[in-house]
């Protein structure tokens, strides 16, 4: 059983759930023309139109690509990288959705690979997966186009493969959703991260593309440490490397998925749902939050003088329950690292709740009121968060 000091375990793997060092630098930089928005929005420097603005956003699949690599090495199935292409794209597009952008987006992808370990058939699957997913989005009336990309053979930098994307859009300023408008008196509707939506071809575990460094090492066994040294940092102590009980082909408890299938579930996009919600009840929406890095604490970065109260979260899907069981990670750390059952939040006027939930469920994505907002109770009126469940209360900020 792992130590209760889960934050220390997370740090020992060279990762940070809070990214304090990053924010200490980035938060001092120019925040753009909508400082409270989910993504940085700048004046339109591409066309010079004063009524327009630019958004250029970068993100990627993170260490989830290593899980695909392990699956590929053990099964020979290169198609697994199609899901990694989706992960990288969605981590950009669903961030853009939080500022009101889901059409006329141009994507560019960057693949850094070790050509010895990531051969041509895997690269082909990744590229094909990119085009397939973009077409899926078009089928649901999401206007996204491919702008090409770059494949770099950098064996000295990576033992496997890293997959990243960049998304660019030019939009009218009056269409931007500004999360600075999140205030007291709102309902928070969470959109489930698990199950199978109308636009997914298989069940989704809900994992997304955050926390996979921790999840991979806590769930998977020493078999992977012994056979795939290219998949971890040799500076990390052995006790923190692949210290779980499972192989990828083992069954996930209380699920129809295998462990590997659950860890590799392609990151769900909420674009079709969000576009529908905004078209029907957009006047009642004050903010949108993609619960990516920071998990359930991501919301604290948005809103003005807000106390976020989350007191009705979804029951965590089986994969999150199993991660916590085998690692003994604290509730506090679990909610700071993982989405724990919902990866998208709608901050709305209470009268819009029923329609938002109905619209989400029409895509077979469960939704519910997971909390509300109050005025900040901090002396400096800074944002803070409480997460309440039957047997615990967590306070952040």
Phi-psi region of 294 (alpha: psi -120 to 50; beta: other; left: phi over 0): left
pLDDT for 101-117, tens place per residue? 999 999 999 999 999 99
Q: What is the DSSP string of 205-219?
A: -S-TTSSHHHHHHHH
Q: What's the CA gap between 139 and 146, in Å, rounded? A: 15
Q: What is the pLDDT confidence band of residue 31, given thresholds at 50, 70 and 90? A: confident
Q: What are phi and psi of 62, to 5 degrees?
A: 65, -150
The answer on pLDDT for 94 being more than 60 is yes
Q: What is the pLDDT confidence band of residue 390, given thresholds at 50, 70 and 90? A: confident
The alpha carbons of the chain give a radius of gyration, in whole angstroms, of: 20
Q: What is the pLDDT confidence band of residue 12, given thresholds at 50, 70 and 90? A: low
The average pLDDT across 193-200 equals: 97
Q: What's the CA gap between 388 and 378, in Å, rounded? A: 19
The answer on pLDDT for 56 being more than 60 is yes
The average pLDDT across 35-59 equals: 95
Q: Tell me what pLDDT residue 19 has.
A: 55
Q: What's the CA gap between 93 and 85, in Å, rounded? A: 12
The answer on pLDDT for 2 being more than 90 is no
pLDDT for 239-254, tens place per residue? 999 999 999 999 999 9
The answer on pLDDT for 3 being more than 50 is no
Strand, helix or coil for residue 253: coil
Number of helices and strands (H, E) in the chain? 12, 12
> Do the Cβ atoms of 189 and 353 come closer than 8 Å?
yes
Q: What are phi and psi of 381, to 5 degrees?
A: 65, 20
> For residue 167, which of 79, 280, 54, 78 has the smallest C-alpha distance?
54
Residue 296's H or E segment, with its range, is none
Q: What is the pLDDT confidence band of residue 46, given thresholds at 50, 70 and 90? A: confident
- In the structure encoding, which two tokens stand for residue 36, read together? 């409270």
Phi-psi region of 235 (alpha: psi -120 to 50; beta: other; left: phi over 0): alpha
> Do the Cβ atoms of 125 and 79 come closer than 8 Å?
yes
Q: What's the CA gap between 72 and 79, in Å, rounded? A: 8
pLDDT for 113-133, tens place per residue? 999 999 999 999 999 999 999
Q: Tell me what pLDDT residue 8 has.
A: 59
> Do the Cβ atoms of 95 and 38 come closer than 8 Å?
yes
Q: What is the pLDDT confidence band of residue 258, given thresholds at 50, 70 and 90? A: very high
pLDDT for 326-382, tens place per residue? 999 999 999 999 999 999 999 999 999 999 999 999 999 999 999 999 999 999 999
Q: What is the number of residues in the chain? A: 397
The answer on pLDDT for 78 being more than 50 is yes
Q: What is the pLDDT confidence band of residue 21, given thresholds at 50, 70 and 90? A: low
Across the chain, the runs of DSSP E, i.e. the strands, are 42-43, 52-60, 105-113, 144-153, 161-172, 187-192, 285-290, 306-310, 342-348, 367-375, 384-388, 393-396
> For residue 257, which of 268, 245, 265 has the smallest C-alpha distance?
265
Strand, helix or coil for residue 167: strand
pLDDT for 310-338, tens place per residue? 999 999 999 999 999 999 999 999 999 99
Domains of the chain (ranges; CATH) run 1-30+177-397 (3.90.650.10), 37-175 (3.30.1330.10)
Q: What is the pLDDT confidence band of residue 6, given thresholds at 50, 70 and 90? A: very low
Query: How does the average pLDDT of the chain come out, rounded?
Result: 93
């Amino acid at each position: 059983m792992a130590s209760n000091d889960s934050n220390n375990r997370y740090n020992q793997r060279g990762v940070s759930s809070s990214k304090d060092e990053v924010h200490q630098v980035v938060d001092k930089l120019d925040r753009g023309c909508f400082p409270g928005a989910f993504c940085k929005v700048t004046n339109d420097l591409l066309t010079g139109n004063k009524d327009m603005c630019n958004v250029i956003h970068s993100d990627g699949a993170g260490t989830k690509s290593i899980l695909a690599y392990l699956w590929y090495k053990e099964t020979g199935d290169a198609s697994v990288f199609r899901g990694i292409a989706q992960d990288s794209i969605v981590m950009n597009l669903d961030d853009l959705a939080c500022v009101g952008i889901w059409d006329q987006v141009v994507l560019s992808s960057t693949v850094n690979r070790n050509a010895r370990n990531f051969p041509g058939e895997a690269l082909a699957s990744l590229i094909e997966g990119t085009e397939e997913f973009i077409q899926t989005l078009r089928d649901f009336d999401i206007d996204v186009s491919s702008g090409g990309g770059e494949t770099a053979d950098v064996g000295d930098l990576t033992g496997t493969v890293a997959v990243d994307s960049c998304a660019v859009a030019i939009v009218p300023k009056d269409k931007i959703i500004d999360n600075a408008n999140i205030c007291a008196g709102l309902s928070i509707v969470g959109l489930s991260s698990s199950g199978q939506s109308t636009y997914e071809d298989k069940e989704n575990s809900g994992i997304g593309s955050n926390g996979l460094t921790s999840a991979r090492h806590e769930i998977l066994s020493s078999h992977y440490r012994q056979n795939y040294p290219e998949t971890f940092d040799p500076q990390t102590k052995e006790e923190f490397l692949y210290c779980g009980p499972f192989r990828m082909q083992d069954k996930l408890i209380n699920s129809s998925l295998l462990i590997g299938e659950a860890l590799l579930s392609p990151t769900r996009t909420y674009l079709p749902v969000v576009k529908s919600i905004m078209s029907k009840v957009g006047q009642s929406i004050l903010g949108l939050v993609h619960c990516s890095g920071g998990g359930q604490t991501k919301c604290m970065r948005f809103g003005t003088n807000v106390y976020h109260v989350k007191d009705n979260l979804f029951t965590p899907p089986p994969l999150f329950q199993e991660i916590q069981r085998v690692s003994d990670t604290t509730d506090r750390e679990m909610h700071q690292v993982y989405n724990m059952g919902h990866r998208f939040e709608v901050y709305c006027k209470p009268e819009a709740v029923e329609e938002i939930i109905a619209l989400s469920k029409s895509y077979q994505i469960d939704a519910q009121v997971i909390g509300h907002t109050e005025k900040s109770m901090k002396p400096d009126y800074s944002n803070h968060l409480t997460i309440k469940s039957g047997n615990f209360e967590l306070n952040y900020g």
